[in-house]
Structure 1
Amino acid sequence: LEVTEKDTKSMPYGFADTNSSVDRASKQIKVLLPQICKAAEYENTILSLAKALEKTQKLLNALENIIIPQYKQRVRFILATLEEREREEFAKLKKLKESMEKRK
């Protein structure tokens, strides 16, 4: 944001109708306006960062509370299925071995 300075040598008010406090206020505004604009820029940047942080936090919560637990459950299911198949295979081999021993 850029603040341009206008020629303020001629004030837009009459000296007869106002006192010196208007001149002081005008000078203070002239000094403070660029700083106020800079502060507004910083505020806007902070608000943008806050929105981005909120979005990131929502994604993180989804990962922690939904996606990762689902994957852990799937891994447990796959491991349990593999263990069950291994036990079944072991039982089949044991029966086959017993059957072969009976034939001898």
Structure 2
Amino acid sequence: CRPHTPPPLPSILLQRPNVIEFRLMPHPSERKVKALKKDYICSLDHCKMNVLRRYLGRLYRQEDIRAFDLLINTTEQDNAILPGDMQLGAVVRMLWPRDGELSILYRSNP
């Protein structure tokens, strides 16, 4: 029996431990809010999606964090909505199993 080795970490986790770099971009169908001037974000891996939603709410002057959905395109599904309690590190490990830049999309709710 061969020892089991875990799969290698995605390259975006190898640059700085516990820090994840990603782009926060509007969903292609987003029409209510403009794109961020600075869409390149660095955050700790334990940051929850609700924190990112709150960040967007402050930038766009929305008090309710439910004003925005965060989505990701995975290998299995496009526009998968990220739950608010999911951590950024879990998004990378579970939903972004590829090399390259991580992009999280946002869209405003009606």
What is the TM-score normalised by the length of structure 2?
A: 0.20
What is the TM-score normalised by the length of structure 1?
A: 0.21
The structure carrying a bigger helix percent of its residues is: 1
The structure carrying a bigger strand percent of its residues is: 2
Q: Which has the larger radius of gyration?
A: 1
